[in-house]
Amino acid sequence: MLRKFVSPILIAFLYAAATPSFAQVKTPEIKLQLITDELTLPTAFASTKSLPTTLFVCEQEGRIRIIQNGKLAAAPFLDIASEVLKRQGYDERGLLGLAFHPDYASNGKFYIYISVKSEGKKGVDHETEVREYTVNKANPQLAEKSSMRKVLVFDQPESNHNGGDLKFGADGFLYISSGDGGGGGDKHAEHGNGQNLNTLLGKILRIDVNKAPYAIPADNPFKNTANARPEIYAYGLRNPWRISFDRQTQQLFAGEVGQNKYEEVDIITKGGNYGWRSIEGLHAFNADDPKPEKPISPIFEYAHPEGLSITGGFVYRGKAIPGLVGKYVFGDMMGPVWLLAKGADNAWNREKLSISRDPGYWHVYSFGEDAPGELYILTRLLEQEKGAVYKLVP
């Protein structure tokens, strides 16, 4: 999410001053269908094939809400707000990620990514916990709090840049996006946490949750590397805010929040180094750092002030909007929503969608994909002070 608060007046000025150019992409006709505007701060969205008409939405304060057949249930699926660390107003901590086990229909397990108090550890702002819970056997709309198991716990030196998304891959392993630990410019460690293989910060992690507390997949790239965390799948990231798998190609996309100038979209590959903090987008950031070997460039970047904080989305694989199939839908927290389409030259071209909103109208917090493959936008309506979920429809 955005690394600092920027006033709507300033944002409007910045957008007016920008003169972005967009490659020509045939844009399908899309509109938004309001599903609910009765949420607070919706950060994450998940679904499971075993419950195709049920949507699960995280509220940042620590609740998972259920939308059943288009209606928001009054009772939360899980409420751990008393355990989750999030201050009043803007904060990047909280309940940030949710994923259902591929075998949820038989084992009832799901996983969350939350911020909790650090109990006064020196140099630590808070802790990240990846937790496992199990659904109540008698009530499929209620999680069993007593089933909680801590899977992975690690320290966060600052309050921001938490990443926090969770996704299961087709390999059955859990992928975790982790920010660089916060502050500005990744000033932790000698050359930043992003390039430090001995920390989980600034990474995409991959673990096997089928063994307690977890196991390392045999082909994780740093499993047998000295002074490297074996959980690491890819590194050199600043704040990967929302990751997703393309259902057809299994490519892993990440929306990577930049520092002061550039936002980027990355395709994550095993063992890949994405350059931060030496590189921001396609540009040098810290000239004093050693240049990474074979850094992987983003498939797309955009400069400020076209936006200020990218929100990663999904490649559309649904059936309702044929013209959107195969295109990556993403946005910026400040209001615009775009698609990326891969051209004949393998370059990814961008088009702004008409469902975008002007700065000051909403914050685009996250995107969601339901069991049939249709897409949703999770937003905060600023004037109404409401959290909302919209569905993309023809």
| pLDDT tens per residue, range 41-61 | 999 999 999 999 999 999 999
pLDDT of residue 15: 46
Looking at per-residue pLDDT, the higher value among 213 and 25 belongs to: 213
pLDDT of the residue at 67: 98
Instruction: Give the span between the Cα atoms of 99 and 83, in whole angstroms.
Output: 19
- pLDDT of residue 22 exceeding 70: no
Q: Residues 3-9: contacts with CB within 8 Å, 24+ apart?
A: 3/92, 3/160, 3/161, 3/184, 3/239, 3/257, 3/309, 5/90, 6/308, 6/334, 8/359, 8/360, 8/382, 9/360
**pLDDT one-digit tens code per residue, 54-98:** 999 999 999 999 999 999 999 999 999 999 999 998 999 999 999
Torsion of CA 221, 227, 230, 235, to 10 degrees: -60
Q: What is the pLDDT of residues 302-311, one digit of tens each?
A: 999 999 999 9
Higher pLDDT, 5 or 301: 301
Sequence-distant (6+) residues with CB within 8 A of 18 are 305, 306
Average pLDDT, the chain: 94
HSE (side-chain half, CA atoms, 13 Å) at 337: 26
Tens of pLDDT along 310-329? 999 999 999 999 999 999 99
Q: Tell me what pLDDT residue 26 has.
A: 66
Find residue 65's DSSP bridge partners: 57
- State the DSSP string of 226-284: TTS-TTEEEE--S-EEEEEE-TTT--EEEEE--SSSEEEEEEE-TT-B--TTTEETTEE
Choose the weakest-confidence range: 8-12, 177-181, 294-298, 330-334: 8-12
What's residue 182's pLDDT? Answer: 96
**Quick one: pLDDT band at residue 1, thresholds 50, 70, 90?**
low
Q: What are phi and psi of 323, to 5 degrees?
A: -70, -10
Query: What confidence tier does 25 reach under pLDDT thresholds 50, 70, 90?
Result: low
Q: Indicate whether 242 pLDDT > 90.
A: yes
Helix ranges restricted to H, the chain: 8-17, 104-107
Distance between start and end Cα atoms, the chain = 28
Q: For Cα atoms 291, 191, 295, give the angle at the middle one, nearest 5 degrees.
A: 35
* Confidence band for 27, pLDDT divided at 50, 70 and 90: confident
With a cut of 60, say whether residue 6 has pLDDT above it.
no
Rounded-to-integer distance, Cα 383 and Cα 360, Å = 8
* pLDDT 10s digits, 331-373: 999 999 999 999 989 999 999 999 999 999 999 999 999 999 9
Which amino acid, 147? S
Under 8 Å between Cβ of 345 and 298: no
Report the pLDDT averaged over residues 251-265.
98
Percent of the chain at pLDDT exceeding 70: 93
User: Model confidence over 112-162: pLDDT tens digits?
Assistant: 999 999 988 999 999 999 999 999 999 999 999 999 999 999 999 999 999
pLDDT at 8: 44
Examine the pLDDT at 387 and tell me if it is beyond 90: yes
Residue 11 scores a pLDDT above 80 = no
How many Cα neighbours within 13 Å face the side chain of 353?
Answer: 26
